[in-house]
């Protein structure tokens, strides 16, 4: 038996890994610094005067207009009415896309018929530039909100189909065999095992769809008029009111972020067990 | 197969009430004209532990699927407790290489899943006390509300044992249950499995790739050869119960291992 010798008098060999200066900056300071740098660069280009103010307005001018648009929105002005129309288009579009996308995803992922017969057509339609369908929706559904909802839903459906179908393939042989031996019905296998296991993939589809549904609604408004936020942007742009275009885009992106983060929030509630949704690691 | 040979295969001379009986069970895939399994006879008596060992692709998993009632045989008869097996049944308990616990359920909810599938959520809730008693049996007392991803591999398989036992099955079908664990945990879990089976007088059937595992756990080891899958020998393991890991150094143990290995080598290169 060897006796462990504790009388070693040599100095400890403690050392630390090198972390670069950039990686040590905390997130809030890093993000804030980047923003300040960006605005400073913007101001510099503006001050030199190489670009016409009509094409690129100064940061202060834009900031003032953001405040103006914000005030109009919060005091219930005409912009709020326009925003509300766009919100409605986005919500209806998303709801329709989720319903159709989910059902088609189950058809494709769960049935051989769906995989053999339906999937090729979905892939074919998905590869088309979907914005090109806008004139058709306008002709079929008119210049009201319906045509924008249709385009938004049309764009957002496919990622949900793909996400749902991919989610249904996640269940491995073990899980399928286990449910078989427990005598589970197809319905039970789907709702108690396959769909919950596929939720991370389904939510990936939903997040892509959340971005697509915004793009669809605004594109629809650009091409087909109406009274939404896209129309405000189009009008401001045609009046060469560039600061207004900027501030409208910023508020529009807030709407997009709200939708996106709502999906992320729901994902964290439902898929609390999946590691990647919490810490970014690979889930099991 | 003559009468003398058959008697050697039937429960391998062990006394006891037959629980699970296979007679002339064969499985062939006509389209590919493959004989996966050729006229297998097997009797599992009450409280006995049997293993089947054989090279990959010898038809072990086909046999197990037929016994579990998820795959129909093309010939022969399969009886559990005197009634024909023509589909999955609640009195068949099964365990796999992976624990396959669902991460959105607590350990307790995972264990009562077979009840929930067959009888609904209310019946599953009524079994919670039963499930806690099983957790106690496998040494996981107090782990009811822990999520599976907080369990180690061995603990997860213990929970899987509980899930298998919750329906009070008449036979346990074990498909390489601990082969994904490290060697140390595996030996330990095998001893735990023996303890649990002895405590409940369970009738168990194990599929494995490990000769020592088969010998240390079993009353009878069936050696299987491929193309077509068939039992080539049934070896009674005459070591006292309860078995201990120390028995692995017993010369008798070594003799059994050698005999099975010789049989497997012959079969594999035929």
pLDDT digits (tens, 9 = 90+) for A172-225: 888 999 999 998 999 999 999 999 999 999 999 999 999 999 999 999 999 888
Q: Where do the structural domains in chain A lie, given as residue ranges?
A: 85-277
Interface with chain B: mutation pick from A171, A182, A186, A189, highest number of B CBs within 10 Å: A182
The total of other beta-carbon atoms located within 10 Å of residue B45's CB is: 20
Distance of alpha carbon A35 from alpha carbon A43, whole angstroms: 12
| Whether B88 and A174 lie within 8 Å, measured CB to CB | no
Chain B contact for A184 (CB, 8 A cutoff): yes
Q: What is the DSSP letter of A280?
A: S
A255 and B CB contact within 8 Å: no
Which of B64, B71, B93, B96 would best serve as a mutation to test chain A binding (most A beta carbons within 10 A)? B96
Strand partners, B223: B53, B233
Tokens found for residue B101 = 């616990």
Closest CA–CA distance from residue A24 to any residue of chain B (Å) = 31
**A45 token code pair:** 């280009």
d(CA A53, CA A41): 15
Look at residues B213, B148, B144 and name the one whose alpha carbon lies nearest to residue B176.
Answer: B213
What is the pLDDT, as a whole number, of residue A282?
A: 32
Q: Which of B103, B78, B86, B87 is nearest to B18 (CA)?
A: B78
User: Mutate which of A177, A188, A198 to test chain B, going by most B C-beta atoms within 10 A?
Assistant: A177
Residue A237, φ and ψ in degrees, nearest 5: -65, -40
Euclidean distance between CA atoms B220 and B236, whole angstroms: 4
Superfamily for domain range A85-277:
MetI-like (1.10.3720.10)
Q: Which of B90, B104, B149 sits opposite A284 (nearest CB)?
A: B149
Tell me if B36 sits within 8 A of B193, measured CB to CB.
no
* Contact between A171 and A194 (Cβ < 8 Å): yes
Instruction: Give the SS3 label for residue A92.
Output: helix
**Looking at beta carbons, which residues of chain A come within 8 Å of B149?**
273, 275, 284
Cα–Cα dist A150/A80, whole Å? 22
- Residues B104, A196: C-beta atoms closer than 8 Å: yes
- CA dist., res. A113 & res. A119, Å (int): 9
Tokens 């008119």 — which residue?
A142
What SS3 class is residue B102?
Answer: coil
Backbone phi, then psi, for B162, in 5-degree steps?
-60, -45
Highest mean predicted confidence (pLDDT) among A92-101, A245-254, B128-137, B227-236: A92-101
Answer yes or no: do A181 and B88 touch at CB < 8 A: yes
- CB-CB neighbors (< 8 A) of B94 in chain A: 177-178, 181
- What whole-number distance in Å separates Cα of residue A46 and Cα of residue A57? 7
Find out whether B193 and B95 touch, Cβ atoms under 8 Å.
no
Q: Are B207 and B176 in contact (CB under 8 A)?
A: yes
CB B206 within 8 A of CB B194: no
Rounded-to-integer distance, Cα A59 and Cα A69, Å: 15
CA distance to A5, A7, B238, per residue, from A2 (Å): 9, 15, 41
Mean pLDDT confidence for A50-57: 85
User: Apex CA A254: angle with CA A248 and CA A260, to 5°?
Assistant: 140
pLDDT for residue B66: 92
pLDDT > 70 in chain A, percent: 95
Domains and their CATH numbers in chain B: 3-91+171-268 (3.40.50.300), 101-168 (no CATH)
User: pLDDT digit of tens for each residue in chain B (270 aa)?
Assistant: 444 444 444 444 456 889 999 998 888 877 667 778 888 899 999 999 999 998 877 888 889 999 999 999 988 999 999 899 998 888 899 998 888 999 999 999 999 999 999 999 999 999 999 899 999 888 888 898 899 888 888 899 899 999 999 988 889 999 988 888 888 888 888 998 998 898 888 899 999 989 999 999 999 999 988 777 888 889 899 888 889 888 989 899 999 999 999 888 775 554
Instruction: Return the residue matching tokens 């049934």.
Output: B234
Whether cis (ω within 30° of 0) applies to the bond prior to B257 is no
Q: How far is CA A68 from CA A62, A73, A98, A268, B10, in A?
A: 10, 9, 36, 36, 90
Interface contacts A/B by beta carbons within 8 Å: 51
ipTM, 2 decimals? Answer: 0.83
Q: Is-contact A227 A220, C-beta < 8 A? A: no
pTM of the model: 0.82
Q: How far is CA B201 from CA A124, B80, B205, B218, B220, in A?
A: 60, 16, 13, 14, 16
The alpha-carbon gap from B98 to the nearest alpha carbon of chain A, in Å, equals 7
The sheet with strand B220-225 has its strands ordered as B92-95, B171-175, B204-208, B49-53, B220-225, B230-236
Q: What's the rounded Cα separation, in Å, for the pair A33 and A10?
A: 46
């Amino acid at each position: 038996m060897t006796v462990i010798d504790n009388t070693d008098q040599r100095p400890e060999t403690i050392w630390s890994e090198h972390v670069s200066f950039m990686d040590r900056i905390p997130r809030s300071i890093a993000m804030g610094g980047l923003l300040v740098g960006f605005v400073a660069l913007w101001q510099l280009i503006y001050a030199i005067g190489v670009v016409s103010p009509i094409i690129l307005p100064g940061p202060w001018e834009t900031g003032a207009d953001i405040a103006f648009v914000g005030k109009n929105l919060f005091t219930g002005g005409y912009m709020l009415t326009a925003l509300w129309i766009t919100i409605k288009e986005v919500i209806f579009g998303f709801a329709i896309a989720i319903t159709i996308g989910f059902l088609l995803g189950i058809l494709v992922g769960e049935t051989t018929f769906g995989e053999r017969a339906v999937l090729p057509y979905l892939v074919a339609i998905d590869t088309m530039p979907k914005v090109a369908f806008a004139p058709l929706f306008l002709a079929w559904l008119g210049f009201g909100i319906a045509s924008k909802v249709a385009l938004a839903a049309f764009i957002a459906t496919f990622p949900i189909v793909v996400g749902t179908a991919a989610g249904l393939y996640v269940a491995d042989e073990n899980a399928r065999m286990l449910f078989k031996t427990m005598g589970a019905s197809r319905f039970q296998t789907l709702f108690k095992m396959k769909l919950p296991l596929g939720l991370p993939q389904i939510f990936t589809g939903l997040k892509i769809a959340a971005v697509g549904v915004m793009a669809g609604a605004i594109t629809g408004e650009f091409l087909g008029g109406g009274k939404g936020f896209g129309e405000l942007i189009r009008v401001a742009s045609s009046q060469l009111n560039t600061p207004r275009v900027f501030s409208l885009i910023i508020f529009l992106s807030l709407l997009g972020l709200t939708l996106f983060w709502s999906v992320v929030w729901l994902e964290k509630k439902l898929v609390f067990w999946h590691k990647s949704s919490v810490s970014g690691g690979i889930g099991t | 197969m003559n009468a003398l040979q058959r008697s050697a295969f039937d429960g391998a001379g062990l006394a006891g009430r037959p629980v699970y009986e296979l007679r002339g069970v064969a499985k062939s895939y006509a389209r590919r004209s493959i004989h996966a399994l050729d006229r297998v006879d097997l009797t599992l008596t009450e409280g006995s532990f049997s293993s089947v060992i054989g090279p990959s692709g010898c038809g072990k998993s086909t046999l197990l699927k037929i016994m579990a009632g998820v795959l129909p045989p093309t010939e022969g008869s399969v009886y559990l407790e005197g009634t024909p097996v023509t589909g999955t049944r609640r009195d068949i308990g099964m365990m796999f290489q992976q624990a396959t616990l669902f991460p959105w359920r607590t350990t307790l909810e995972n264990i009562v899943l077979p009840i929930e599938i067959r009888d609904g959520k209310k019946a599953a809730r009524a079994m919670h006390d039963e499930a806690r008693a099983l957790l106690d049996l496998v040494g996981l007392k107090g782990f009811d509300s822990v999520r599976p991803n907080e369990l180690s591999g061995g603990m997860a398989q213990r929970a899987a044992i509980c899930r298998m036992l919750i329906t009070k099955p008449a036979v346990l079908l074990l498909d390489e249950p601990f082969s994904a664990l490290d060697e140390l945990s595996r030996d330990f879990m095998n001893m735990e499995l023996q303890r649990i089976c002895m405590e409940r007088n369970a009738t168990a059937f194990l599929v494995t790739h490990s000769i020592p595992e088969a010998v240390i756990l079993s009353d009878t080891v069936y050696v299987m050869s491929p193309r077509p899958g068939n039992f080539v020998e049934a070896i009674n393991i005459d070591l006292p119960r309860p078995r201990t890991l120390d028995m692995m150094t017993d010369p008798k143990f070594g003799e059994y291992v050698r005999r099975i290995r010789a049989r497997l080598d012959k079969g594999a290169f035929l």
